[in-house]
Amino acid sequence: MFDLSVAEWTALELSLRIAVVATAWALPFAVAVGWLLARKSFWGKTILDGLVHLPLVLPPVVTGYLLLIWFGRKGPIGVFLHDYFGIVFAFRWTGAALAAAVMGFPLMVRPIRLALESIDRRLEDAAATLGASSILVFFTITLPLALPGIIAGVLLCFARALGEFGATITFVSNIPGETQTISAAIYTFLQIPDGDAAAARMVVIAIVLALVALVGAEWLSRRATTRFHGG
């Protein structure tokens, strides 16, 4: 059963690549937005908070459609990115990564924001009296202390990105070798006669992948916690 076809390997590799790239790109933005929401009060904060959480509440098809309108070949942002940076999202794996990042973003921001809110600000004051500028305080005190929250956010976003289906298929379609992830492949196999066996194999892959991710997550967060509480 486990001599995977080329198409299946491709779907697996694509899913992982898309989830990793989406998570990596989302991370700095999620830290910035989490920090803004946790630490600053400014006009439009409620709007920003709402916008960030929108993909969590909207039907994924709607998110995918909005991405298509804005980042598609004729979309204003899509045209701009293509003309000035040569970046194309439409019907490419990069578009799938964008969709996955947008869908995972709210799940990443939330734990990071909570972690930043729970940090004892007096430690940052202490660091300042020891000669650390605001930037150094952020990178040597704030960020390391928020690490458990950051790890939690990364894992949630990664998991969401790995399973993303609705927004992705709406935005970049279901092209084998380009945008066909495991979820999309399962969906495709279920549409064709005799596709059950292939779909079952992909389902097993999905389960194995999820288990590996969970075990890895547990290990990572344990390491982060022992850094604070252990010897």
Partner 1 sequence: MTVLAVDVEKQLGAFKLTVNFRAAGGITALFGPSGAGKTSLVNMIAGLLTPDRGRITLDDTVVFDAAQRIDVPPHRRRIGYVFQEGRLFPHLSVRQNLDYGRRMSGRPRDGSEFERIAALLGITHLLNRRPRMLSGGERQRVAIGRALLMRPRLLLLDEPLASLDSGHKGEILPYLVRLRDEAAIPMVYVSHTATEVRRLATTVVRLDQGRVAETGGLELLAGTELEALD
Applying CB under 8 A, which residues contact partner 1?
120, 122-123, 125-133, 136, 140-141, 144-145, 147, 227-231
Q: Minimum Å distance from CB 120 to partner 1?
A: 8
Tell me which amino acid residue 77 is. I
Q: Minimum Å distance from CB 154 to partner 1?
A: 18
Rounded Cα–Cα distance for residues 40 and 58 (Å): 27
Q: Minimum Å distance from CB 186 to partner 1?
A: 42
User: Smaller CB distance to partner 1: residue 74 or 122?
Assistant: 122
Rounded Cα–Cα distance for residues 4 and 27 (Å): 32
User: Smaller CB distance to partner 1: residue 120 or 196?
Assistant: 120
**Contact status, residue 204 vs residue 135, Cβ threshold 8 Å:** no
Please name which of 156, 187, 195 lies closest in space to residue 170, comparing C-alpha atoms: 187
Q: Which two three-digit tokens encode residue 128?
A: 């300042």
Integer angstrom CA distances of residue 22 from 25, 156, 180, 204: 5, 12, 15, 23
Q: Minimum Å distance from CB 217 to partner 1?
A: 20
Q: Which two three-digit tokens encode residue 94?
A: 């990069």
User: Smaller CB distance to partner 1: residue 68 or 137?
Assistant: 137
User: Smaller CB distance to partner 1: residue 39 or 73?
Assistant: 39
Q: Minimum Å distance from CB 136 to partner 1?
A: 6
User: Smaller CB distance to partner 1: residue 123 or 215?
Assistant: 123
C-alpha angle 212-109-187 in degrees, rounded to nearest 5? 50
Exposure class string for 90-113: b at 16+ Cβ within 10 A, else e: bbebbbbbbbbbbbbbbbbbbbbb
Q: Minimum Å distance from CB 80 to partner 1?
A: 39
User: Smaller CB distance to partner 1: residue 51 or 123?
Assistant: 123
Rounded Cα–Cα distance for residues 91 and 73 (Å): 9
